[in-house]
Amino acid sequence: MAMKLAILGATGPTGLLLVDQALARGHQVVAVVRSPDKLGSDRLTQPGLTVKQVPDMSAAAGEAEQKLLAEAFDGCDAVLSALGATVSLFRIDLMTDAVPAIVTAMRSAKVSRFILLTAQCTVYRPEHPKLVEWLIKPLLIGRNMDDFWRAECHLTEQCSDINFTVVKPPGLTNEPLDEQRELKAAEGQFVPEAADRRMSRANVAKFMLDCAESDEAWSKKLVAIQF
């Protein structure tokens, strides 16, 4: 059944794939973006796509921006977020600020289904791969992981009324969609038995859309995915 889906971060590498795959499935798509031109001229003319420009999606945004966000969600069946910050050596608060604002706008628009893209191993557990804890997080993406973790905590601790699914892939690639291998999914921070520590953005987008199409799929859970 065709749905109306709001997609945040729609101009990023995963967001663009979400838009394209959602349209290919026959859904109506509301792309919520800061810079509509980044969607590309060909995509902007596609039937089924509506573009809503929201300059600031953070919790600190003014009343006007909050209203724009709620209006973008009006009539939607689900909201999907592929927002993410660039790597930095300093504290990042993009998702920390954005997720509360998104949830507030969803409540105003009476939308409860939320699919959020973060990453695996956002908080330390002894069973996690040591490469992530000892090298990747300290030297590369630790601030991004902390930002994702704070956003996840907001959902799990303060959003009992929101039917969220947090999708947690490993490292992302730009490879084409792989429909031959079996995707493994596990509740929590990572997939223990998985061997491949990388996954294409196309497969991540597909999994997110599969979740959006079902209210029961990984409802109110953090789900790690991997091949």
Question: Which has the higher per-residue pLDDT, 87 or 55?
Answer: 55
Q: How confident is the model at residue 136 (pLDDT cuts 50, 70, 90)?
A: low
Q: Is 120 exposed, middle or buried (0-12, 13-18, 19+ CB in 10 A)?
A: buried
The model's pLDDT over 40-82, given as tens digits with 9 standing for 90+, comes to: 999 999 999 999 999 887 766 778 888 999 999 999 999 999 9
Confidence at residue 57, expressed as pLDDT on a 0 to 100 scale: 78
Confidence at residue 130, expressed as pLDDT on a 0 to 100 scale: 54
Residue with tokens 């596609």: 46
The tokens describing 89, both together, are 């050596």
Q: Domains plus CATH for the chain?
A: 4-226 (3.40.50.720)
DSSP 44-81: HT-TTEEEEE-S--STT--HHHHHHHHHHHTT-SEEEE
The model's pLDDT over 155-181, given as tens digits with 9 standing for 90+, comes to: 999 999 999 999 999 989 999 999 999
Q: How many CB atoms lie within 10 A of CB 4?
A: 18
Residue with tokens 């289904």: 113
Mean of the pLDDT values across residues 18-43? Answer: 96
Tell how far CA 123 is from the center of its chain: 18
The whole-model pTM stands at: 0.92
The rounded distance, in Å, linking the Cα atoms of 149 and 143 is 10
**Which residues contact residue 28 at a Cβ distance below 8 angstroms, ignoring those fewer than 6 apart?**
2, 3, 4, 5, 48, 50
The rounded distance, in Å, linking the Cα atoms of 115 and 221 is 10
| Phi, psi of 219, deg, nearest 5 | -65, 125
Helix axes 94-109, 142-158, angle to 10 degrees: 30
The H or E element containing residue 206 is helix 201-212
